[in-house]
Structure 1
């Protein structure tokens, strides 16, 4: 088709077809299309993406009018593929679910991972019976049949700043979660297409025999996966130092792999064709083993196309080669740019292309400037010393860690003792990385910039890099960039609005209170997971509350109020104190007699001021005063001892009572004549709280409920909801709305917003 079009247009294949700029612009146009179809969720986002598409297409047609047929074909193909991948296929529950041993993990008689139901990839989970793990490891591929299961749509993020698992799994073409209640196992006959899964499982078991840090680096470099939650701290250290890209097998590693294979080929006196075939075969196998990791696929495609152009003696610019790589990658995976890792990978390569004439130090600064907007939009924290850390650590990684990793991988089977050499080296470098990261040198909690700010900074930064040497214009652009970053920083850290935010921590409580301008920050409870098993879990604060705070540029708290001892209220207190400076802890008098509470704070007694409170006490600050209305006597932190607070913001009275029951509510009634505008229902909407007389006296205009979805307690209870209905009191529930935020401003009054709106695009 393409050849016919070219022939009819009388165009020279080797000249104008590879004219500089064509494929780069075409690639950018197709990227714009994917954002319009797959990611834009508002009119403004669609408008901006369409604007970019119009700009790129206009440039294409202006420079290459003879190729409008080809442009239309590519755009049509990408649009069609996007819509095909956007479509949600109905699951046929009852059909066999195919699973592979490398895609499922078994832990504490529970399994979870990925499976395939007909043509649909799904997440699966369930109880692992006695034969499950044995059969899975024996056959490597099995069917689950005659099963009973619940099917759920994967939830999106329900809090600002929280990682969006729905978007992540959507990029892997997974939309549904299947929770299996019962099933039977049927072995699947192994086919030639299953060898990759068997090889991955073999390598996973092989690496599992290695000690912790050797296993970590081997798994990351070969399989592109973290083998254990024990390495989370090390991963966070790499991220905080801005060197996480070293653990993502990408262009750097592809270059090293190719150099290694070429060196071996030279030593073995192989021909150039044989070496190239070995490189291509190795990269294809590694693409499969790394589960199509975006950065590695990009770098491998770049090598494949380079080989093709060299063999055909076709001259093409590096920018257009990047465009061709993008096009081929998008045709293979239209959902590519749902993944922030893919965006960063391509943006870095684009940065290398437009800064290829710069010196090494200047180029590193340029690359960091280019990716900073994406990092701030997705991770909220940046390290200004990243350039320094890269110069220090990249050589160590390239010449020590990576070669040693592959020496261990290839020799461990016959020389297990080699890990006695490798493990101290890996551990020493990991400890050094953790030590530097713990010092937080250069690390700044900037806060989250929105999508429009991200695009603006990217565009201005690109123009600054690619414009010719025009000192006055470049100075103006630098001033715009610096001014934009400073303005954004001050608007985030000195906000015009204050807030009361009910964070969606599931079945628990955590409420953030901030004041405008010279911001003060307070937290009522930390939330925490009720653990009914023996296994230790990662604090949910790490995936919910901390990102929520970091997204707002909050890196310390002026005070934390603790209602009582229950895990769903203060279970994550230790994790909070370990990671965020807290000036004062406020709690009901007597809680320090509770040994469980003291265990949480023992390591921080020198860092934080303890302030016990009873009814009648007042916590007064310049902008805000908290009045304590309960308890009236010391206690050990049970529900009936819940610290209860009232305060006023923007002439609106608030009341929080923790898990206080009806008896405690009546005591408050007897001592105080309270009327409030907003009230957080006690005990997550339990019928043991929210006495009708108490609610009548309070007469709130709106109440808030913090409860988990499908919680085992049935909160909020129907009796409580009936009481609210009878008294004509409206309510909002984090169960339905995700994070609920009440904002107030000296300039714009008050607003209430809910984060989760059921968007599934």
Structure 2
């Protein structure tokens, strides 16, 4: 079987693709295997194993059913009895347990968010891996995404085999006893995480936890996002690089110091690596790297000759057998793709003598093999990330990661020595991160690509493999052409909106607030009307959550780099709250408000600091944004009230006329009737469907066919009111509402137009 295990692994991978995308690829798989067998490239045993591999994994791997809309949350408290089956996550801001129900075998996520006080160690002492627990609380079904591009929390949990969750409000609602044998190793990890060396700073301790123990929760979230955007997040995942350092340290300490023979040192590695995999969090990347080293040592001691490709293929199959849900883990996908890519290009690397060019090739291959997966998850690719990796990978490999192991292993050194090394590391590392931020500020030219079809993934990887094979055969000209074609295809997908005759109007589901994004055909312009945010009732400060989780991901998923014009209807946080975060992110070119809009000094200063022009517009004026006219029909006079002073805009988009009404009341609606002969095919219902607006005479005069209502699920205001819904229904107006349909899109082209809802209508 030497040299054939990769075909067995590929058969399992094709089975996984068949399950994930609901394609039955058995016929194609069989034809491929038959061709290899007929051309004498495949013997009978690997042929049979490959067929068995496909059939087994096709039925073994899970298909995640994300539609659980029929399952409703209950207000009744329930009692869950079961076992903690995964390592408890105990952090300052949350505690998470995965409990398997003893009765149903369902996996339930138990979450506790502590209040302002710190959690005492004795409060969590009984939360152990393998403990039997009784949990009191209300069963909830996680909410899924309701907007394009939004992170789907429900799907995320389902891919971890978790279907329900319980949020407890007090740790006394969790009563646990006992533990499993493996708890002591997990406890050791928790001990190392929470009792970092006393003589180093919190800043350095956070990096020790991330790069040695696999917990990046204490690293600044902005740094995590920066690494993700620039394709550097693989550095934060413990993988082959870290395992190589661990193995190198063991061999150096045991062999170079003549403490042990090589054979005995190998036994130490065999015993230590599985323990380190647990201490490092047991993520797929560290499991892959550890398993490859362990398997290599075992096979060598048994004098069984295998290739590196065989080893990674066998490890791939074993991990799939061990955990069938691991196929959905992004770390599993990235780790194996990068390792396969590097192994396939080992001949190319051997032809290059310069370490600089070897690192460049590894960086290039690593980026190319994960690029489609990266686009699928993040909709973003930084072309310059290959060059940045060229600088950052050696820096982390040679300096940062060894330093982190040093801090953990030599924490017994004197305070002055550790403090000196801490100052050295902090000074250098802080400036390197500043350099990455500088690159992000001045060389940030990302490609946004999303909604890639499955056929693209297949064609991309086929072209990539062919190009790599051509490089291996030293047919560099043909390989170069292949890489150029790949680049052109990606660029073509990124540029697709600029060649599309279709435009869209999207009402985003941001809860109890408004956010509309208008995309003109051929990407001639992107206009936004309102950008609401959630906020705290105690201090009335807006939260960045809506922007970071809904607006920004939507923009990325649509390939939108910036908003040409942002109209703010009035000064309520559910309509303007995300503005400050958009300004800070540099995605707003110009802001429009009414003559009577009252700006907070802080927000006004932010506009000036970021040089974002502010335009005040009056009733009767028409503003042309990239060829799209908007006419202001209200406010006529200053009503001394934010809602009544709402900016009301009339425009024609596609084949329909639109009226965006902000939060006006009936009085303003009747004023519009009096001063303007407005007819609007589509109306944005004012004030989320409050009974203070939507006068029947006004709606009748508009002759609208469709109504958009942006409203939060189960909101405390009772919006939209029964009276408004009945009025719309009596007038025969079709209703689209975010609490029921999620984001709603109007898609229009040269000859056609239609509405789509993100959730089933």
**TM-score over 0.5 for the alignment?**
yes
| CA drift at 1:203 | 2.3
| CA drift at 1:654 | 0.7
Note the 1:595-614 alignment, pairs <5 A. Answer: 595=601, 597-598=603-604, 601-604=607-610, 607-614=611-618
Question: Does structure 1 retain, via aligned residues, the 8 Å contact 2:508–2:743?
Answer: yes
Q: Can you list the C-alpha shifts for 1:629-685, whole angstroms capped at 9, x where unaligned?
A: 111234677222211111001231011112222222222222222211111212222
Question: Does structure 2 retain, via aligned residues, the 8 Å contact 1:26–1:60?
Answer: no
Match among 318, 323, 336 for residue 346 of structure 1: 336
Runs of 4+ in 1 over 6 A off after TM superposition: 84-92, 129-132
Note the 1:444-593 alignment, pairs <5 A. Answer: 444-446=447-449, 449-467=452-470, 468-469=473-474, 474=479, 477-478=482-483, 480-532=485-537, 537-593=543-599
Note the 1:304-323 alignment, pairs <5 A. Answer: 304-323=294-313
Partner residue, 1:117: 101
Partner residue, 1:29: 11
C-alpha spacing 1:570/1:144, structure 2 compared with 1 (3 Å): farther
Counterpart check, 1:325 vs 2:329: no
| CA drift at 1:714 | 3.3
Partner residue, 2:656: 652
Question: Does structure 2 retain, via aligned residues, the 8 Å contact 1:702–1:731?
Answer: yes
Partner residue, 2:431: 428
TM-score by length of 2: 0.87
Question: Does structure 1 retain, via aligned residues, the 8 Å contact 2:240–2:289?
Answer: yes
| CA drift at 1:306 | 0.9
* Aligned equivalents of 2:718, 2:34: Cα separation in 1: 58
Counterpart check, 1:257 vs 2:238: no
Question: Does structure 2 retain, via aligned residues, the 8 Å contact 1:26–1:57?
Answer: no
C-alpha spacing 1:525/1:450, structure 2 compared with 1 (3 Å): farther
What SS class does the counterpart of residue 192 from structure 1 fall into? coil
Counterpart check, 1:269 vs 2:224: no
**Structure 2: runs of 5 or more not aligned:** 353-357
Note the 1:148-163 alignment, pairs <5 A. Answer: 148-152=137-141, 154-163=142-151
What SS class does the counterpart of residue 80 from structure 2 fall into? coil
Question: Does structure 2 retain, via aligned residues, the 8 Å contact 1:241–1:443?
Answer: no
Question: Does structure 2 retain, via aligned residues, the 8 Å contact 1:219–1:226?
Answer: yes
| CA drift at 1:340 | 2.7
What SS class does the counterpart of residue 165 from structure 2 fall into? strand
| CA drift at 1:298 | 1.2
Partner residue, 1:237: 226
What SS class does the counterpart of residue 608 from structure 1 fall into? coil
* Aligned equivalents of 2:185, 2:249: Cα separation in 1: 23
Partner residue, 1:216: 206
Partner residue, 2:355: none
| CA drift at 1:170 | 2.8
| CA drift at 1:283 | 2.3
Cα root mean square deviation, aligned? 3.2
Q: Can you list the C-alpha shifts for 1:322-342, whole angstroms capped at 9, x where unaligned?
A: 211110111112222212332
* Aligned equivalents of 2:677, 2:372: Cα separation in 1: 51
Counterpart check, 1:389 vs 2:388: yes
* Aligned equivalents of 2:415, 2:543: Cα separation in 1: 32
TM-score by length of 1: 0.87
Question: Does structure 1 retain, via aligned residues, the 8 Å contact 2:530–2:568?
Answer: yes
Partner residue, 2:684: 680
| CA drift at 1:143 | 6.5
Q: Can you list the C-alpha shifts for 1:263-313, whole angstroms capped at 9, x where unaligned?
A: 111125213233223323332123223332111111112112211221121
* Aligned equivalents of 2:310, 2:615: Cα separation in 1: 64
Q: Can you list the C-alpha shifts for 1:193-216, whole angstroms capped at 9, x where unaligned?
A: 322332232223224976443133
What SS class does the counterpart of residue 641 from structure 1 fall into? coil
Note the 1:45-56 alignment, pairs <5 A. Answer: 46=23, 49-50=25-26, 53-56=29-32
Partner residue, 1:282: 272
Please, which moves more after superposition, 519-528 or 680-689? 680-689
Structure possessing the higher relative contact order (Cα contacts under 8 Å, 6 or more residues apart): 1
| CA drift at 1:750 | 0.9
| CA drift at 1:221 | 1.3
Partner residue, 1:12: none
* Aligned equivalents of 2:399, 2:11: Cα separation in 1: 41
Note the 1:54-65 alignment, pairs <5 A. Answer: 54-58=30-34, 62=38, 63-65=42-44
| CA drift at 1:392 | 1.6
Counterpart check, 1:166 vs 2:151: no
Partner residue, 1:742: 746
C-alpha spacing 1:52/1:160, structure 2 compared with 1 (3 Å): farther
* Aligned equivalents of 2:648, 2:553: Cα separation in 1: 27
Match among 176, 183, 194 for residue 194 of structure 1: 183
Partner residue, 1:227: 217
Aligned residues: 727
What SS class does the counterpart of residue 692 from structure 2 fall into? coil
| CA drift at 1:708 | 2.4
| CA drift at 1:447 | 5.4
C-alpha spacing 1:71/1:465, structure 2 compared with 1 (3 Å): closer
C-alpha spacing 1:346/1:187, structure 2 compared with 1 (3 Å): closer
Note the 1:39-118 alignment, pairs <5 A. Answer: 39-40=20-21, 46=23, 49-50=25-26, 53-58=29-34, 62=38, 63-67=42-46, 69-83=48-62, 93-96=78-81, 102-105=88-91, 107=93, 114-118=98-102
Please, which moves more after superposition, 710-719 or 310-319? 710-719
